[in-house]
């Protein structure tokens, strides 16, 4: 059983299509050529040169090393790892079909394989950092083998996807040697994603439980709101009350609920915040879920767009980075961050 990393578009824009249709797709534009009839990677490279004549040879070979396994190396029963771009979770599936080609499909969805996804995604925090490094490879498709990943992920599945213990990591890492080929995760790691992962780990260590509410409150105060924070314990359906203007008596009043667990929030839980908004006579709400939201929540709450905002872990990080320099000194001392510049990955 092989483990394959696959991405649903550079920004995760095809994520819901992959999940809802129970398929994985190659997402190279205009690649409307049947791939399982090609006999070698060199032949595939020639096809790519015809399709993308402006791309340099190095880029063509890199893309061929990802496209070729999709049609020729993946097998039914292999596992698929799909890191979410919008939620702090990993979607995991099992390949259920051979390679399929549909010449009449919309661009770029000509090439696909069937996948049976787990009913619930696995929180990123359940995976050890070395596995997350592999999941952060720049490549769109690659086989994950480093650090005995295949056996370790299989053991996690047997244990109902619970996090590995340190003893398991040490024992499994010494039991086998890595076998890496051109289709494996030999590309550079996404440094931005690695940086985010380290920040996530630090937040989880320093702002556990009700402390995450304190971080959200600090961000809202940096945005200019006056805030009241509920004491730890029963909160009556709201963790923070925020208002703009002098002393918070402005026209914008926000009820805020914060969930720090790694479970995904469902619609009934969000509805409780909508009820609290009526109770506290507020016109707007903010639900912050560190573990993200179930897939139907965003769609079903579209009608509440002008009254309710949902912050995932990624949304919270974006606001943290945007207002970090305006946070109070105590928060910045607990969460010391430094902005750095690095060369962006550019394919030539």
Tell me how many domains the chain contains.
2
Q: Could you tell me the pTM of the whole model?
A: 0.78
pLDDT at 345: 61
Q: Indicate if 184 and 216 belong to the same structural domain.
A: no
What pLDDT does residue 296 have? Answer: 85
Task: Note down the domain range covering 149.
Answer: 3-189
Q: Answer with the one of 189, 220, 243 that is the final residue of a domain.
A: 189
Tallying the residues shown for the chain, one arrives at 348
Whether 307 is covered by a domain: the verdict is: yes
Kindly state whether residue 344 falls inside one of the protein's structural domains: no
- 146 and 10, same domain (yes or no): yes
What contacts 335, CB < 8 A, 6 or more positions away?
A: 199, 202, 203, 206, 207, 215, 320
What pLDDT score does 167 carry?
A: 64
Q: How far apart are CA 148 and CA 246, in angstroms?
A: 58
Q: Is residue 231 part of a domain?
A: yes
Query: Would the CA dihedral through 27, 32, 34, 39 be positive or negative?
Result: negative
Q: Are the CB atoms for 211 and 288 separated by under 8 Å?
A: no
In a domain, 199, yes or no: no
CB 230 within 8 A of CB 244: no
Q: Which CATH number goes with the domain that contains 300? A: 3.40.1350.10
Which of 189, 219, 248 is where one domain is finished? 189
- 310 sits in which H/E element: strand 308-311
pLDDT at 98: 97
- Tens digits of residue pLDDT in 24-82: 999 999 999 999 999 999 999 999 999 999 999 999 999 999 999 999 999 999 999 99
Domain shared by 101 and 229, yes or no: no
Q: Are residues 241 and 323 in the same domain?
A: yes
Residues 231 and 158 in one domain: no
Closest by CA to 77, choosing from 98, 52, 108, 105, is: 98
Q: What is the pLDDT of residue 95?
A: 98
Residue stretches of the chain with pLDDT short of 50: 176-183, 185, 348
Is residue 46 classed as helix, strand or coil in its secondary structure? helix
């Amino acid at each position: 059983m092989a483990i394959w990393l696959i991405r649903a578009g550079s920004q995760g824009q095809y994520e819901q299509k992959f999940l809802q249709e129970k398929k994985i797709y190659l997402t190279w534009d205009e690649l409307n050529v049947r791939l399982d009839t090609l006999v070698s990677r060199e032949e595939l490279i020639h096809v790519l040169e015809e399709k993308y004549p402006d791309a340099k040879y190095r880029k063509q070979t890199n893309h061929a090393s990802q496209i070729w396994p999709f049609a020729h190396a993946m097998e039914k029963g292999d596992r698929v790892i799909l890191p979410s771009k919008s939620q702090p979770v990993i979607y995991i599936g099992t390949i259920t079909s051979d390679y399929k080609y549909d010449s009449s499909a919309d661009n770029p969805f000509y090439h696909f394989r069937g996948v049976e996804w787990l009913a619930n995604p696995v929180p990123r925090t359940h995976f050890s950092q070395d596995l997350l490094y592999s999941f952060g490879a720049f490549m769109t498709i690659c086989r994950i083998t480093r650090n005995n990943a295949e056996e370790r992920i299989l053991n996690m599945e047997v244990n109902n996807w619970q996090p590995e213990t340190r003893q398991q990591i040490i024992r499994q890492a010494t039991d086998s040697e890595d076998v890496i080929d051109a289709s494996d995760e030999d590309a550079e790691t996404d440094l931005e994603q690695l940086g985010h992962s380290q920040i996530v780990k630090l937040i989880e260590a320093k702002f556990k439980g009700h402390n995450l509410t304190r971080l959200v409150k600090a961000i809202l105060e940096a945005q200019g709101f006056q805030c009241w924070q509920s004491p730890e314990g029963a909160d009556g359906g709201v963790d923070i009350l925020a208002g703009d203007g002098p002393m918070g008596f402005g026209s914008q009043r926000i009820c805020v609920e914060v969930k720090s667990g790694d479970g995904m929030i469902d619609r009934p839980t969000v509805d409780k915040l909508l009820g609290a908004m009526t109770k506290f006579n507020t016109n707007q709400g903010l639900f912050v879920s560190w573990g993200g939201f179930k897939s139907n929540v965003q769609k079903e709450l579209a009608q509440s767009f002008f009254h309710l905002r949902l912050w995932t872990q990624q949304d919270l990080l974006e606001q943290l980075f945007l207002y970090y320099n305006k946070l109070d000194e105590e928060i910045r001392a607990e969460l010391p961050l430094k902005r750095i510049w690095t060369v962006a990955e550019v394919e030539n």
